[in-house]
Structure 1
Amino acid sequence: MQVFGSNVQRGDVHARQVSQGIAGKLTVTALSIAYYESLLSTLRQFRESYPNVQLIIKEMPSSSQARAILSGEADIAFMRKLPISAQNVQSRLLLDEEIVMALPADHPKAKEGRIDLRDFAGEDFVFTPQALGIGYHSQLIALCEAAGFYPRVVQEAAQIQTLIGLVACGFGVALVPESIAGSIMRDKVLFRRINPVTASPNPAIGLYMSWNIDNESPLMDSFISMLDFNAGPRVEGMLATQVS
């Protein structure tokens, strides 16, 4: 009876902590998080501030994250833009970064400064599969089309590390977010900024945080309050917004 009573007491304490937002579980989904220091810093801060919370981190493509948010499998998602609408989902811009070109270190243009995307019309490209992130994939295609060509994609890679590895091996060049540039294979892959295409500004792509407003978890609110958002406004009624 005493053991049963102590179990009940522990259960009551845990339930009270959950209701106060200092215990429980928070599930965060993201693209590969290793390249985003602001997100890593927030995850560290949250874990230190809420040691009794089970923080679950799942890496998955944006398309899977969208389904996870809508189904309640995830509390918070960090993704690229997606053409999916949902009235109970809000999104905010966390990071807006340039798209840069990843080149094999021995590529003729690897030692140049900024490069002109038009000069790569005849090059082989390495892309992530469209199914992993339709919006992200479409934006890269549209950027090439604005430069006057459709990219000749010779190889696809689901993981960014694999994609950069293929560039290093000479399979082709790749368009990637700027955050990738300072992280891997600097001796085998070089990254170059892209000159503006026509009259448009420098090509950029956003990383957004999305969450379901029907989720009343105080843990989710605490996590969101720790993040340092970019200057983008909150967007209601969309799973993700247009990239600026």
Structure 2
Amino acid sequence: MTATIDFRLIRQLWMFLAVAEESHFGRAAKRLGISQPPLTEQIKVLEKALNLTLFERSRRGTVLSPAGAAILPAVRQFAGQVERLEQVVREVAAGQSGVLRIGAINAAMLETVPSILTRLKERHPKLTVYIQEIDSAEAVPALEAGNLDLAFARIEGEVGPAIATLPLTEDRLAVALPADHALAALPRVRLQSLADEPLVMSSRKVSPVYFDMLTAVCRSHGFAPRILHEVRSVVSQIAYVGCGQGVALVPASMSKLAPGNVVVRPIKERIMVVTAALAWNRNRYHPVIETVLGQLTRGLHTP
């Protein structure tokens, strides 16, 4: 079964997006480098093809109809994918040797990814790298679907037969506290002393393995954590602590992100947590990732 690409539809969707963002046919036409009459005609053709009214026109200007507003997010996503495709094609045509799509959690983008990318660029100067921020829970589905080639996330243990993982960095568990908290004066804080404290935790939806590990550690020290907030990143945890919304278990290296009203103290018990692991789909062939992964694993801990 074969299919053909409807380039006319792609062009009409670009036009729809321009009118939606400009809220004015004249400005949209100028942005697209065409005159207004053909733009208006093409939008009418698109509306007829979709059997939808996409815009409502009034004295106040052009506004999206409910149907137009409903399809706008998908059209924006599609336009972004087309732009990425065009960029990849241009770079390949210009002699680039490969493209690598990387997803990374916020903490890994701050701590782990920059130095690894430096090494990759030294070994593969023509490699084009695209990075997007992800949650740990998004890593495996994105790798399985082929939307990412590599993921840097908090991943431990078995995550599926197709996904391979390699722990990259670990750090000592610490607690972020308001600077005026009684425990902030201590050089180290016993985990059990947090039993009655409201906790700001990294959401289980974001990183289920990390969440379950921290919960299990608390229970092994005699208490069930009192979780007041679940947030999406370590940066958010520290921000919530700074706003007086509790205390947070974070990697000790995150002390560099703490503002003046937050202190980070190591947990007295030596508890190590994986802050980033590398994950990839071993069942998906990628001509670049095979070489990159081999060099990365060999040189990962080389000074």
TM-score, with structure 2 as normaliser: 0.62
Q: Partner letter of residue 289 of structure 2?
A: M
Determine the structure 2 residue equivalent to 1:221: 290
Three-state SS of the structure 2 residue aligned to 1:132 is coil
Distance 1:90 1:83 in 2: 10
Determine the structure 2 residue equivalent to 1:35: 110
Give the alignment of 1:119-130 within 5 angstroms: 119-130=193-204
Give the alignment of 1:79-118 within 5 angstroms: 79-81=153-155, 85-118=159-192
Q: Is the 8 A contact 2:258 2:264 kept in 1?
A: no
Task: Give structure 2 stretches of 5+ with no counterpart.
Answer: 1-88
Q: Is the 8 A contact 2:242 2:259 kept in 1?
A: no
Determine the structure 2 residue equivalent to 1:233: none
Aligned-pair distance for 1:178? 2.5
More strand per residue? 1
Aligned-pair distance for 1:130? 0.9
Do residues 74 (structure 1) and 148 (structure 2) align?
A: yes
Summarize the Cα distance change of 1:66–1:181 in structure 2 as closer, same or farther, 3 Å threshold: same
Q: Specify which structure has the bigger relative contact order, considering alpha-carbon pairs within 8 angstroms and separated by 6 or more residues.
A: 1
Determine the structure 1 residue equivalent to 2:226: 152
Do residues 204 (structure 1) and 277 (structure 2) align?
A: no
Highest Rg: 1 or 2? 2
Structure 1 vs Structure 2: percent identity of aligned residues? 27
Three-state SS of the structure 2 residue aligned to 1:74 is coil
Distance 1:42 1:173 in 2: 31
Q: Is the 8 A contact 2:252 2:265 kept in 1?
A: no
Determine the structure 2 residue equivalent to 1:193: 266
Distance 1:48 1:179 in 2: 26
Do residues 45 (structure 1) and 113 (structure 2) align?
A: no
Q: Is the 8 A contact 1:154 1:172 kept in 2?
A: yes
Task: Give structure 1 stretches of 5+ with no counterpart.
Answer: 1-10, 197-201, 231-244
Distance 2:157 2:291 in 1: 28
Aligned-pair distance for 1:125? 0.6
Summarize the Cα distance change of 1:84–1:153 in structure 2 as closer, same or farther, 3 Å threshold: same
Summarize the Cα distance change of 1:83–1:95 in structure 2 as closer, same or farther, 3 Å threshold: closer
TM-score, with structure 1 as normaliser: 0.76
Segment drifting more, 66-75 vs 79-88: 79-88
Distance 2:244 2:136 in 1: 27
Q: Is the 8 A contact 2:202 2:233 kept in 1?
A: yes
Three-state SS of the structure 1 residue aligned to 2:183 is coil
